[in-house]
Amino acid sequence: MQKKGLELMVGLFVLAGLLALAALALRIGNLGGVSVSDGYTVTARFDNIGGLKVRSPVKLGGVLIGRVTDIGLDEDDFRALVTMRLAREYNQLPADSSVAVNTAGLLGEQYLNMEPGGDDEVLKDGDEITITQSALVLEDLIGKFMFNKADEEADK
């Protein structure tokens, strides 16, 4: 009887561990979300990627469809070369889709926003997205604004 009680307690303990793992994976984390590990890879070139990072999300219409896997510099034209991996379930994206570096909220983290095109061809593994839009750099905007203001003052 003593022994059975002990085994029962150990069993409950291990069960609690498994339940905790399940809760961590499904309730607290987002394992149930989109998996990009078996997806396909496309690249895009940007003049300026701002604060984009590896693992930043790629979204289409606000839905997470992939993640940035690598950021490098193309030594030929000195533009940022961004590699992203898109989930396999979204493999019907038109080949002339465009991507832009967007910011979540005013000061939030930056992500890639994809706008679907109208092409019949679909994006395949290794393709490059040619239509890109760089990040808005807040400092540049403020600089331009100040410059314009100064011009207006001078015109008067």
Partner 1 sequence: MQAVRQLGAGVLNMLQGLGRSSLFLFNTLARTPPLLLRFKLVNQQIYSIGVLTFFIIALASFFVGMVLALQGINTLQRFGAEESVGLLVALSLVRELGPVVTALLFAGRAGTALTAEIGLMKSTEQLTAIEMMAIDPVARIVAPRLLGGFISMPILAMAFSVIGVAGGYLVAVGLMGVDAGAFWSQMQAGTEFGTDILSGIIKSIVFGFVVTWIAVFQGYDCVPTPEGVSRATNRTVVYSSLAVLMLDFIITALTLNSL
Which residues contact partner 1 by CB under 8 A?
6-7, 9-10, 12-14, 16-17, 19-21, 23-25, 27-31
Q: Which is nearer to partner 1, 22 or 122 (CB)?
A: 22
Q: Which is nearer to partner 1, 63 or 122 (CB)?
A: 63
Q: Which is nearer to partner 1, 16 or 146 (CB)?
A: 16
Residue 44's DSSP bridge partners are 82, 129
Q: What is the spatial distance between Cα 94 and Cα 117, in angstroms, rounded to a whole number?
A: 6
Q: Which is nearer to partner 1, 19 or 146 (CB)?
A: 19
What is the nearest approach in angstroms of partner 1 to the Cβ of residue 141? 23
Nearest in space to 58 (alpha carbons), one of 75, 73, 76, 70: 70
What is the nearest approach in angstroms of partner 1 to the Cβ of residue 22? 9
Q: 50: which residues sit within 8 A by CB, 6+ positions away?
A: 101, 103, 110, 134, 135, 136, 137
Q: Which is nearer to partner 1, 34 or 100 (CB)?
A: 34
What is the nearest approach in angstroms of partner 1 to the Cβ of residue 120? 35
Q: What is the spatial distance between Cα 30 and Cα 34, in angstroms, rounded to a whole number?
A: 9
Q: What is the spatial distance between Cα 11 and Cα 44, in angstroms, rounded to a whole number?
A: 52
Please report, for residues 25, 72, 119, 152, the alpha-carbon distance to residue 50 in angstroms, rounded to integers and kept in the order given: 32, 13, 29, 29
What is the nearest approach in angstroms of partner 1 to the Cβ of residue 19? 8
What is the nearest approach in angstroms of partner 1 to the Cβ of residue 115? 23
Q: 137: which residues sit within 8 A by CB, 6+ positions away?
A: 48, 50
